[in-house]
């Protein structure tokens, strides 16, 4: 990186150069933390928040640069230290907040190619390196997720858009508000309630969100219940409800004559679920303390199981550098125990829905196969509609390229 022309040096150029220089000073500690910190987003928030030099725009700018670096961590680490900040900026072409920096500081760099293969070829030529695209993925991915190849795998290097799920029968107030605010969006072709925002913006603080008109929920997560098709008027348990994104979606699908009992081992998550249910004016959800009996047996039980989170690499790229085969095996054992514990709560003829946000066969097909071996009264049933997803004998994979969201796996298990 070279300093902008100082004769005369514009204030904007000087500011841009200094911002990238500061990022270069931060970069080593941030990339080290990406490999070490289990909650890297929180670490990054605290690290940028406690630096009094940074205003809110600075923090957003450095966050965007950091995530570009973390997505391409082996490339950044292999580059000469003096080139790492500028390389991070070049790789962050999809970040609007960096447009000014790119215009000021990348004048002698070509536009970023769409293909990672073309990107790495250009980096190798300019910096004299021998990098590969394969370096951007852990070695275990090829065996754990063989369906991820070429463009499907490369999609994991890009950021997901923010997806909304409409909570009201009439979408027009939300659509009108988005148009008035100048927020571009696109509707999902298969899910009428789903829409993607095409720019990064804060919608969580909007009046419509506070009024319960929509929830923020990734399209992959929304597709789980679209594939499962829980029937109106039935009784369900959401066994790993978390903060309740799928709980609210499930409650809406079941309608006023259906009901959802929701529980989780984390009291703070259940408190957030209560807040969200109140905001969404949902009245057919009962929040249960962990271990409470509920209205068993249920017509259906949803187990959105704890997992490695490898399906969320587009949003959480640091997880790509932390997940190991040993972690996949630990999660598999945990998932199998949770499934087995909740199987007796399903009535004969009812459904046990197993879902993860993982790419790994160990956590997905492997967990389902082990469960079926120990519970022969259950069988996998295919979804009525595949909705553009990949169906196999153990379940359905929701992959990023088909719907531009995170990756999920869902298995529909019916009790005889």
Residues 94, 96, 101, 106: is their CA dihedral positive or negative?
positive
Integer Cα distance of 249 and 353 in angstroms: 14
> Active site residue: 240, 307, 357, 389, which one?
357
- Residue 244 corresponds to which tokens in the numbers above? 């309740």
Active site residue 389: no
The 3-class SS string of 128-161 reads: CCCCCHHHHCCCCHHHHCCCCCCHHHHHHHCCCC
Integer Cα distance of 194 and 126 in angstroms: 42
Integer Cα distance of 355 and 196 in angstroms: 22
CA-based nearest residue to 19, from 6, 3, 30, 32: 3
The answer to whether the CB of 319 falls within 8 A of the CB of 309 is yes
Task: Please state whether beta strands 185-187 and 390-392 pair in parallel, antiparallel, or not at all (unpaired).
Answer: unpaired
The answer to whether the CB of 239 falls within 8 A of the CB of 306 is no
What values do phi and psi take at 281, rounded to 5?
Answer: 60, 40
DSSP state of 98: G
Integer Cα distance of 212 and 411 in angstroms: 30
Catalytic residues: 357
């Amino acid at each position: 990186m070279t300093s902008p022309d100082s004769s005369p040096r514009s204030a904007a150029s000087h500011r841009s150069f200094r911002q990238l220089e500061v990022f270069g000073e931060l970069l080593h500690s941030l990339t080290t933390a990406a490999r070490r910190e289990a909650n890297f987003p929180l670490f990054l928030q605290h690290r940028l928040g406690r630096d009094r030099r940074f205003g809110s725009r600075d923090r957003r700018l450095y966050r965007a640069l950091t995530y570009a670096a973390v997505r391409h961590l082996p490339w950044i680490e292999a580059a000469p230290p003096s080139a790492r900040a500028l390389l991070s900026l070049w790789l962050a072409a999809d970040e609007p907040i960096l447009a000014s920096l790119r215009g000021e500081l990348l004048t002698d760099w070509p536009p970023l190619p769409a293909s990672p293969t073309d990107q790495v070829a250009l980096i190798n030529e300019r910096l004299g390196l021998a990098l590969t695209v394969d370096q951007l993925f852990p070695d275990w991915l090829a065996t754990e997720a063989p369906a991820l190849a070429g463009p499907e795998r490369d999609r994991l290097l890009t950021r997901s858009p923010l997806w909304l799920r409409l909570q009201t029968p009439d979408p027009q107030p939300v659509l009108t508000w988005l148009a008035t605010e100048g927020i571009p969006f696109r509707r999902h072709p298969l899910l009428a309630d789903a829409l993607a925002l095409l720019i990064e913006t804060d919608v969580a603080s909007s009046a419509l969100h506070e009024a319960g008109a929509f929830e923020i929920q990734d399209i992959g997560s929304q597709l789980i219940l679209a594939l499962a098709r829980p029937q109106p008027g039935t009784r369900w348990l959401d066994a790993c409800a978390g903060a309740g994104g799928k709980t609210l979606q499930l409650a809406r699908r079941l309608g006023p004559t259906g009901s959802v009992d929701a529980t989780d081992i984390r009291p703070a998550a259940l408190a957030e679920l209560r807040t969200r249910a109140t905001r969404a004016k949902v009245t057919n959800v009962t929040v249960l303390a962990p271990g409470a009996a509920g209205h068993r047996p249920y017509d259906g039980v949803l187990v959105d199981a704890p997992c490695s989170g490898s399906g969320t690499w587009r949003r959480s790229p640091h997880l790509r550098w932390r997940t190991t085969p040993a972690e996949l095996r630990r999660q598999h054992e945990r998932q199998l125990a949770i499934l087995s514990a909740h199987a007796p709560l399903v009535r004969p003829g009812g459904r046990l829905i197993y879902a993860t946000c993982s790419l790994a066969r160990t956590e997905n097909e492997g967990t389902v196969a082990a469960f079926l071996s120990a519970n022969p009264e259950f069988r996998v049933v295919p979804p009525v509609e595949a909705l553009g997803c990949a169906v196999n004998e153990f379940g359905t994979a929701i992959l990023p390229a088909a719907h531009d969201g995170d990756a999920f796996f869902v298995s529909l298990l019916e009790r005889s």
